[in-house]
Structure 1
Amino acid sequence: MKLLSWLHRWTGGIVGILLAVIGLSGTVLLWEGSWIMLPGADDQATNDPAALGRSIAAALELDPGLSRITFAGEEIGLHQAIYGDGSGAYLAQDGTLIDRWGSMWERPELWLFDLHHYLFIGEAGKTVTGILGILLLGFSISGLILWWRTRKTFRLRLWPARFTTSAIVRHHRDLGVGASPLLILAASTGSLMVFPALSAWVLSPWAAETEARVLPVDLSAPDLQTDWSLVMTRAQAAFPQAAPRRIMLPVDSGEPIAIRYRQHFEWTPNGRSYVWVDPATATIVSVEDPASGDAASAVTEKYYPVHAAKVGGILWRLAMTFAGISLAMLGILATWSFWMKPMVTPNKMRKRGP
């Protein structure tokens, strides 16, 4: 038990601030749709293929280096266009430009997302956040074990009663236990998203073998001007009742356009129903329907919406907000108490007595 306590304290003291950053940034992102105060942000999303096609054309007029567009949805009533150079724009659903930025630093929701997922250091940061998730899982479990001996003194509060070492330790212990179910869920879903190989191993008993998808690359007339309204109209025919969520333009000539749809049973906000379309002829070349997937893929699809409170309504969002604030408090106070606690020397121990 002493070794477990030592590992818990030392590891928490080292990574506590990083966990606090993850908790705070994630909490703010939970309410992203409420604080993006731009004209049209509260508009109800419409899924008219012709209007979507005009918006795509408008985004391409701004910059032909368009990479993707996330269409207006339940959270925000604006289309978000992202370009290959990292710039982007918000467009109203009629294609009108609402806001444009040259880098992520000009939009708080973009740099907060990068901070939460990548810690501003790219793919290496993504790996670090995944490891932090695994450590958080370990902290939550070890904290429950260490708390059990003092369970009779449990008192849940968001703020320590006093700023003394003993009060902070007691607060850390009780708050950690109170938030542990949510923290375990957030840590598990976050790490499994970052490490898909780990997720595949965990869910392997429920996975089924699937054949590799081969998309045609010999697309006709690649230089022909794309009719975006026709592309969206024909793609919608593959999933007539689904909501169009994102279009991803091909990087290289001869590749199809990828369009994501969200069917009624999907939890992921942007869906995982794919339609690939020939940009020259607006012909559907391939479709991926998650309704025909295995149990493992159905579980994988739930990671992000549960982690980011994209399902469950206001109650689940409030629950995850409590988890995020708790993680920030636990991380900050654990670091403070670990590094700022006065060193206990042998002389002090003798003065305290047995």
Structure 2
Amino acid sequence: MKLLDTLHRWAGGLIGLLLALLGASGTILLYKHLWIGIAGAGDAQRGDLATVAAATEKLMAMPGAQGIIYADARLGLHQLRFADGAGAYANQSGEIAARWASQWERPELWIFDFHHHLFAGDIGEWVIGIAGLCGLFFVISGAILWWRTRRSFQLRLWPKRMSRPAIVMHHRDIGIIAAPLLLISIVTGTMMIFRPFAMVMIAPFGSPAEAAKAMEPPKYKGGPLAQKPPYSAMLTEARRRFPGAEFRILSLPRTPGDPISLRMRQQPEWLPNGRSTLWFDAATGELLGANDALAMPSGAQAFNKAYPIHASKVGGWTWRILLTLSGLAMTMLGSLAVWTFWFRRPKPAKRAVKRAALAAR
């Protein structure tokens, strides 16, 4: 038990600040749609084919446009993507509401990049994944360590004093209260980064091998990107294939010969951007293939629920408030763990001198 306590303290001291920052940034992102501060952000979603097609034709005609994230029930703006992190928000009629040349001009973008990549791309994802595994260890080991002191449990939102013993006691007691929510947040977040970990977590729901195969995008090849692709015809075909589904993400090919992809969200899907996908020949607009997310293996569908649970895209305000408490708890637990480890550590040498002096009296 002493070894477990030592590992818990050292790991918390070394990585607690990162977990605190992830908890704080994640909590801020839960309310992005409320503080984004752009005209039209609160507009009701207009998902009819005519409106979406007209806006798509207008926006994708802009030089350098690479794709669109369509407006949804929370954010009433389309997000247009350009190269090198540039982009724009447009209302649902296709009128530009705001533009930026870099993500640093939009707080919701750089906070998202920090929370998902630590501003370091794939390397940052790996660091966050390792932090997630450490967080999982903290929750499990913390629950084990708390059991020894369960009779002294006191529910306090803040430590009684800023002394090390008071902070440690508060840390254990508030940690055990937040443990179930922290476990959900950490597990779902780590699933999105470490695919092997995700396959272990979805194993009870179905074959991981079948899930991995179903989530692998097919390799379609077509002609070079047309100067003016028939977006309206593609959206019409997509709506025919998936009646009632929302248009979510339109993406142009990254390399010549790749297809244009269109993601849609059918109503039973939890994933906010859906996983029902269609691929069109970039030269002709001809449909090359389609993937129905509702027909995917149960393991893959379980994996697709990780992000909406993690980001409060389901469950309404009740779940969002619970995740807010989880994020605030992670922020407090991580920051106070670092504080006690580096700035309130016990000083064995001084205590030994003091005990020796008392014994000599």
| TM-score normalised by the chain length of structure 1 | 0.94
How many equivalent pairs are there?
Answer: 352
Q: Judging changes above 3 Å, is the alpha-carbon distance between structure 1 residues 238 and 121 closer, same or farther for their aligned structure 2 residues?
A: same
What amino acid is the match of 1:16? Answer: G
1:334 to 325, 337, 352: 337
Amino acid paired to 2:26: G
Aligned-pair CA distance for 1:341: 1.6
> 1:213 Cα deviation (Å)?
6.4
Which of 217, 220, 224 is 2:221 aligned to?
Answer: 217
Asked if 1 retains the 8 angstrom alpha-carbon contact of 2:118 and 2:125, the reply is: yes
Distance in 1, matches of 2:325 and 2:115, equals: 17
Deviation at 1:75, TM superposition (A): 1.2
CA distance in 2, matches of 1:114, 1:74: 23
1:179-233 per-residue CA deviation (whole Å, 9 max, x = no partner) reads 01011111111111101122224434612645876554244x8535212222211
**In structure 1, distance between residues paired with 2:116 and 2:222:** 37
Could you list the runs of 5+ residues in structure 2 that have no partner in the other structure? none
> Which residue number in structure 2 is paired with residue 253 of structure 1?
256
**2: CA distance, partners of 1:257 / 1:341:** 57
| Corresponding residue number in structure 2 for 1:40 | 40
The whole-number CA distance in structure 2 between the counterparts of 1:248 and 1:63 is: 15
- Write the letter of the residue equivalent to 2:296: G
What do the CA deviations read for 1:138-179 (whole angstroms, capped 9, x no partner)?
A: 000100000011112212222111111111111111111110
3-state DSSP class of the match of 1:40?
coil
Aligned partners of 1:17 and 1:332 also within 8 Å? yes
Q: Which residue of 1 aligns with 2:26?
A: 26
Tell me if structure 1 keeps the 8 A contact 2:226–2:284.
no
Distance 1:63 1:153, change over 3 A: farther
Cα distance in 2 for partners of 1:108, 1:326 equals 23
Question: Compared with structure 1, are the counterparts of its residues 277 and 135 closer, same or farther at alpha carbon in structure 2 (3 Å cutoff)?
Answer: same
Deviates more, 1:321-330 or 1:45-54: 45-54
Q: Deviations over 1:255-301 (max 9, x none)?
A: 22111111111101000000112234332210001221111101101
Structure 2 letter corresponding to 1:84: A
Residues 1:72 and 2:67 are matched in the alignment: no
Q: Kindly indicate whether the alpha-carbon contact (under 8 Å) linking 2:40 and 2:91 is maintained by their aligned counterparts in 1.
A: yes
Residue 122 of structure 1: how far off its partner (Å): 1.3
- Residues 143 and 177 in structure 1, CA contact (< 8 A), matched pair in contact too: yes
The equivalences for 1:132-143 within 5 A come to 132-143=131-142
> What do you get for the CA RMSD once the two structures are aligned?
1.9
Q: Does 1:114 align with 2:113?
A: yes
**Aligned equivalent of 1:302:** 305
**Contact persistence 2:60–2:67 (CA under 8 A):** no
Q: State TM-score, norm by structure 2.
A: 0.92
| Structure 2 CA distance for aligned equivalents of residues 229 and 156 of structure 1 | 58
**1:79 aligned partner, one-letter code:** H
- 1-structure distance, mates of 2:196, 2:146: 33
Gaps of 5+ in 1: none
Paired with 1:253 and 1:52, the residues of 2 have a C-alpha distance of 26
Q: Report the Cα offset of residue 116 of structure 1.
A: 0.5
Structure 1: distance between partners of 2:330 and 2:108: 20
- Percent identity at matched positions? 43
Q: 1-side partners of 2:90 and 2:194: how far apart? A: 34
Contact 1:234–1:282 at 8 Å: present in 2 too? no
Aligned ranges 1:88-237 → 2 under 5 Å: 88-204=87-203, 206-207=206-207, 209=210, 210=213, 214-219=218-223, 222-223=225-226, 225-237=228-240
Tell me which amino acid in the other structure corresponds to 1:158.
L
2:53/2:231 contact within 8 Å kept: yes
